[in-house]
Structure 1
Amino acid sequence: MIYADVIIIGGGAAGFFTAINAAERNPELKIIILERGKEVLTKVKVSGGGRCNVTHAEFLPKELTQNYPRGEKELLGPFHSFMTGDTIGWFSKRGVELKIEEDGRMFPVSDSSQTIIDCFVSETERLGIEVLKGQAVKVINKQDEFWNIETASETFSAEKLVVATGSNPKIWKLLEGLDHTIIPPVPSLFTFNIDDERIKNLPGISTEASVKVLNKNAKTILESEGPLLITHWGVSGPAILKLSAWGARLLEPTNYHFSIQVNWLLDALKEDTSEMLKDLKVQLAKKTVLKNAQFDLPKRLWQSLVTASGISETLTWADISKEQIVALASQLTESRFNVHGKSTFKEEFVTAGGIELKEVDFKTFASKKHKNLYFAGEVLNIDAITGGFNFQNAWTGGFIAAQSVAD
């Protein structure tokens, strides 16, 4: 039996952040991190394409919460205690400077996730935190005032337990055994698979668009706007990933078979677009429709939509018919696509699901069911859109849980 004051299950972002902050606050504590794998911080390593998207440059708590399809209400209080500015300061104090990119995402200046990993590892060494790898937890139970944790090779005992295991079904099962409710996990960040002639030969094209998810009656159930990226398998980009996050629970029952409607002109109406096309019929009379891209659309996308409207490559603007104008306006503002499946977005395997949020005290990140049991990160039913928000949840939860266990 190995004894500690605090045991943290999970050697990821939330687990390390909790351990380091608890040890700083109370250097007397014996803290052990148990990691099931051979490596720690594996998700940190691959995040943001290996650059680690540490957080997002949003500095108002209320605005920040609006990036969390699950957890929006619960995180408002915690973000008043620790959020983006605190994260930047925390890393800066340890020699890791962050930079803001145009879209608001924040990365280490080094552009390498290894900088974050090295920071965490050196801090645990400096503070005397034990990090034990290859320790998959099999049993969690409570005897008297102590938590007992059994792995394949060892038994641990501690007064305080922090669970920071992310989306780990085996740990969720153990927590169910402790009377916690687990919301079943479903994928949260994914791209849409579409097989359609209009976009088949356009991978790599990115443009601003607004996108709606339609139900069987063609009514809008979700919408977003932003950069849309055409890929080899369909569509991706922030506009799509926002829909996947907010629609995680709605889209799963359809087995990811549904329709979307894309407005390539953002908020332009079909009728107004028809009028603009009629003006172009006069202004560009002698030019061919296909070769003269309009509305700042990428040339190849314009050509594909023109072809889909039944307009031949030699047709001039002067000769375009009323029906063709209506068809083109429709393609530009109401392109319908059938989605048949999803693909994981890079290595961002984020899921919606986890511990029912009503069973957690968000002033301390403590369990309402058991004394001295705490949670941080994605083990909770909290998830965010892409852009550094999932890590910010890990830092905030880890920081507040650390204060709770250290006091």
Structure 2
Amino acid sequence: MISNYDVLIIGGGAAGFFTAINIAEKNPKIKIAILERGKEVLSKVRVSGGGRCNVTHACFIPNDLVKFYPRGEKELRGPFHQFCSGDTIEWFEKHGVELKIEDDGRMFPVTDSSQTIIDCFLNTTKKLKIDVLTGQSVQEIFQGENYWKVETNQQSFKCQKLVMTTGSNPKMWDMMQKLGHNIVSPVPSLFTFNIKDNRIKDLMGVSAFASVKVKDSKLKASGPLLITHWGMSGPGILRLSAWGARELFEKNYQFTLQVNWLNDLDFDIVLEDLKEIKEENSKKSVSKFCPFDFPKRLWESLLKASGISLDTKWADISKKQMTDLVNQLTNGQFQVNGKSTFKEEFVTAGGVDLKEINFKTMESKLHKNLYFAGEILNIDAITGGFNFQNAWTSGFIISNNLSLL
């Protein structure tokens, strides 16, 4: 027996639900089903933002917003002019979810709970009579003359319009490849660096604003850097991993990381500053007088790495020790050996080739009535709510097109 729908959405995540709800709100007569292979829907929403759901980012100008996307920057400019972060805030408020802005621009529900977003989606789909079908693992997709047929492990479905919102699912990418779409090979994005180094060995939990660079590369980023028991994490490192996803994959995650603990201050400026400090504070102990605004434990570790004992007076620091200290501060070299996944928020660089998508409608250029939203496409962003914004925007654009059925 075949179940007939006007629109089938494969993938019960953020993009799938947002697309379905917006289609149904614009045209309640359209019969819609969401097919999810797992037992639960919206599982990534549940764990995102440490269980708080980082819904979007307080960046309201499309031309600025696109700069947070290592892949998709050019293509998303038009879509963000149709539906941007401000529209997301308004949409959720209309659906009873108030959002708040944190100091770093990330936006969360005021409840600080991802369950608020999940409940909003589940209640709205129920009210709009959208069928949400779980345990539906897609086995095959066929294209007919004016329809799509989807075979799952449980039953067969037929629809006029097919929307793919399956995220980073290799099986679905294989199916899209069989339909003729090019898949940009997936590599990890948003990961932390594994580093074993005595300078950071006992500093777990210490954080400082730093600029980081991959040696012998153009890759660089800046932001808070967090020292962990396995190496380095934090927004600055995650940003670097996103922009360098392909290059670092090719290096097999073995490279030298250059860290400037004073952000962008260069060697000569810091050397002059320290010479002045040495004169003015000659009788003070170097460990008790840290001239920079970063953690004392980190300062003490860099002193030791420069061959300076903690009870040394500023007046007694040799020229070589001073040079070594400035090098540690502005160009600390750390050997990276591998990566670790960033919590549960694993993001992949790769997916359906963007050249094969019409970004005015999110429809495939190869197949009529086949649409894509979210991370199934070769679009990804740095951490901070940007990947969800791509899901909302692409889903909204699809709804504008499909509501005319």
* TM-score for both structures, normalised by structure 1: 0.98
Q: How does 1:288-367 map to 2 (within 5 A)?
A: 288-367=285-364
Question: How much has 1:252 moved relative to structure 2?
Answer: 0.2
Q: How does 1:208-219 map to 2 (within 5 A)?
A: 208-214=209-215, 219=216
Q: How does 1:39-188 map to 2 (within 5 A)?
A: 39-188=40-189
Q: Quote the residue 1:207 is aligned against.
A: 208
Corresponding letter in the other structure for 1:158: C
For residue 388 of structure 2, the aligned residue among 381, 387, 391 is: 391
Separation in 1, partners of 2:27, 2:317:
76
Q: Quote the residue 2:196 is aligned against.
A: 195
Q: Which residues of structure 2 form unaligned runs of 5+?
A: none
After superposition, the C-alpha distances for 1:184-224 in whole angstroms (9 at most, x for unaligned) are 1100110011000001110111111111111xxxx342111
Q: Quote the residue 1:238 is aligned against.
A: 235
Aligned partners of 1:186 and 1:249 also within 8 Å: yes
Question: How much has 1:290 moved relative to structure 2?
Answer: 2.2
Aligned partners of 1:294 and 1:302 also within 8 Å: no
Q: How does 1:253-292 map to 2 (within 5 A)?
A: 253-292=250-289
Aligned partners of 1:192 and 1:341 also within 8 Å: yes
What SS class does the counterpart of residue 200 from structure 1 fall into?
Answer: coil
Separation in 1, partners of 2:167, 2:207:
32
After superposition, the C-alpha distances for 1:77-124 in whole angstroms (9 at most, x for unaligned) are 000000101100000001100000000000000000000000000010
Aligned partners of 1:183 and 1:355 also within 8 Å: yes
Separation in 1, partners of 2:309, 2:388:
50
CA RMSD of aligned residues (A): 0.7
Separation in 1, partners of 2:377, 2:63:
20
Corresponding letter in the other structure for 2:129: G
Corresponding letter in the other structure for 2:350: G
Separation in 1, partners of 2:59, 2:284:
47
Q: Quote the residue 1:380 is aligned against.
A: 377
Separation in 2, partners of 1:146, 1:314:
78
What SS class does the counterpart of residue 75 from structure 1 fall into?
Answer: helix
Question: How much has 1:249 moved relative to structure 2?
Answer: 0.6
Separation in 1, partners of 2:205, 2:354:
39
Count how many residue pairs are aligned between Structure 1 and Structure 2. Answer: 403
After superposition, the C-alpha distances for 1:240-288 in whole angstroms (9 at most, x for unaligned) are 0110000001100111000111111111111221111111221111111
Identity %: 64
Separation in 2, partners of 1:307, 1:109:
45
Separation in 1, partners of 2:27, 2:188:
38
Question: How much has 1:294 moved relative to structure 2?
Answer: 1.8
Q: Which residues of structure 1 form unaligned runs of 5+?
A: none
